[in-house]
């Protein structure tokens, strides 16, 4: 939802740049440093808006009309309270659409992925592939584990990784359900690839500024390095 609000602000900024008068002039001549800066900022925010998913099809001229009325009229046809209510309702509708779209895409991915050689599916719907089977001990629900991990979107795009940096330490039960289930089956030294459906991942609980999307399925490479005593530390939660 915060991403959508940011994109609407971007849209407003872009429209403001494009509207020096009541009617947009898209043939403005770029002749001064201010013109150049304005144009470059317009391109920058325009690209962000275009990549905004549900917001990429906004009517820029309608945005320009609303922005100009807000700047040039003392009284508007809508109160601040009504504006806030309408925008919040819009954000909620857009969030629901995005969540439903991600959930459907994730379900389709999981359905195809489970048929691939070496992929195993548990009763909960977690899918995993054993890359390397370790020979060390297995953690229990009270264990503190040390791992290296890499997180991917289902399209293969890498989101983040601890590899090459400090490994992540956390209690087995302080992570997403998909991780907990997998770790309780792994031995120290094991490397697994996890395919985590939304309900075993972060679901709709996507934090502000997170690179993750609500209700998306996720892929993890996990290496279980060590088991220690309990602690309160944990990996970043989105």
Question: At how many degrees (to 10) do helices 33-50 and 2-18 cross?
Answer: 150
Count the residues in the chain. 238
Per-residue pLDDT tens over the stretch 95-149: 788 889 999 999 999 999 999 999 999 999 999 999 999 999 999 999 999 999 9
Domain 108-228 fold is Chitinase A; domain 3 (3.10.50)
C-alpha span between 33 and 39 (Å, rounded):
10
C-alpha span between 61 and 70 (Å, rounded):
14
- What are the sequence ranges of the domains in the chain? 2-77, 108-228
Q: Burial, 69: exposed, middle or buried (Cβ in 10 Å; 0-12, 13-18, 19+)?
A: middle
pLDDT value at position 42?
65
Residue 4 above 60 pLDDT? Answer: no
Per-residue pLDDT tens over the stretch 98-112: 889 999 999 999 999
Q: Give the mean pLDDT of the chain.
A: 81
Contact between residue 180 and residue 170 where contact means Cβ atoms under 8 Å apart = no
Any idea what DSSP says for residue 187?
P
pTM: 0.68
- β-bridge mates for residue 161, sequence order: 150
């Amino acid at each position: 939802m915060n991403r959508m609000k940011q994109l609407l602000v971007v849209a407003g900024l872009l429209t403001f740049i494009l509207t020096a008068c009541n009617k947009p002039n898209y043939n403005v001549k770029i002749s001064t440093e201010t013109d150049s800066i304005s144009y470059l900022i317009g391109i920058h925010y325009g690209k962000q808006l275009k990549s905004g998913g549900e917001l990429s099809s906004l009517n820029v001229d309608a945005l320009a009309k609303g922005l100009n009325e807000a700047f040039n009229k003392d009284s508007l046809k809508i109160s601040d309270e009504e504006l806030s209510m309408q925008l919040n309702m819009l954000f909620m509708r857009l969030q629901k659409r995005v969540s439903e779209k991600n959930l459907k895409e994730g379900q389709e991915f999981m359905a195809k992925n489970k048929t691939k050689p070496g992929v195993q599916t548990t009763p909960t719907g977690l899918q995993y592939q054993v890359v390397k089977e370790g020979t060390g001990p297995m953690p229990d629900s009270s264990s503190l584990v040390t791992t290296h991990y890499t997180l991917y979107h289902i399209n293969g795009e890498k989101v983040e990784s601890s590899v090459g940096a400090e490994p992540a330490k956390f209690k087995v039960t302080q992570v997403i359900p998909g991780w907990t289930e997998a770790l309780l089956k792994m031995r120290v030294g094991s490397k697994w690839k996890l395919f985590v459906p939304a309900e075993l991942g972060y679901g709709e609980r996507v934090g502000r500024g997170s690179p993750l999307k609500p209700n998306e399925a996720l892929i993890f490479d996990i290496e279980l390095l060590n088991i220690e005593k309990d602690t309160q530390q944990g990996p970043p939660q989105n």
